[in-house]
């Protein structure tokens, strides 16, 4: 019985160690104090990698994958394109390739799309140009 508990504890510890840190933004209105809100939004300097899709400049990009290798990013892009999604790839200053699922002119639309994708892309987040 103890061995089973040790195995379960070890698995849980390994799983928790793989979690990414998240930025916490605290919002405190004048009237009342609100609990901290976790948001996965990052500001980075980036540029778009060649793409066949016509890209319309927007402010908020929903990212569903981040890779050090462009071939991995292109693999996810190809999978999404087979599903009819015009995914694009961006590269940031640290040479990380970001696979962008969609882009929006306002934050609320981007947040709704990000949240809708969480079942498939648990680490989806919003990218804004720095």
CATH code, 74:
3.30.70.1070
As a whole number, mean pLDDT of residues 119-128 equals: 95
Question: Shortest CA distance to 99 belongs to which of 66, 75, 122?
Answer: 66
The alpha helices in the chain, defined as continuous H runs, are 2-17, 70-82, 107-117
In a domain, 92, yes or no: yes
In a domain, 62, yes or no: yes
Q: Is residue 100 within 8 Å of residue 71, measured between CB atoms?
A: no
Q: What pTM was computed for the model? A: 0.67
Number of domains in the chain: 1
Count CA within 13 A, CB hemisphere, residue 59.
6
**For residue 90, what are the domain limits?**
40-129
Residue 20 has pLDDT above 60, yes or no: no
In a domain, 123, yes or no: yes
Helix, strand counts (H, E) of the chain: 3, 8
Lowest mean pLDDT of 18-32, 47-61, 99-113, name the range: 18-32
Q: What is the pLDDT of residues 86-118, one digit of tens each?
A: 999 999 999 999 999 999 999 999 999 999 999
């Amino acid at each position: 019985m103890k061995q089973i508990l040790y195995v379960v504890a070890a698995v849980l510890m390994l799983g928790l160690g793989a979690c990414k840190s998240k930025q916490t933004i605290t919002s405190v209105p004048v009237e009342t104090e609100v609990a901290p809100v976790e948001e996965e939004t990052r500001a980075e300097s980036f540029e778009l990698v060649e793409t066949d899709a016509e890209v319309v400049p927007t402010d908020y990009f929903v990212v569903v994958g981040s890779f050090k290798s462009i071939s991995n990013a292109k693999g996810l892009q190809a999978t999404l394109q087979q599903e009819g999604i015009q995914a694009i790839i961006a590269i940031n200053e640290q040479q990380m390739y970001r696979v962008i699922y969609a882009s929006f002119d306002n934050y609320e639309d981007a947040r709704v799309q990000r949240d809708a994708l969480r079942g498939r892309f648990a680490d989806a987040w919003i990218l804004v140009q720095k």
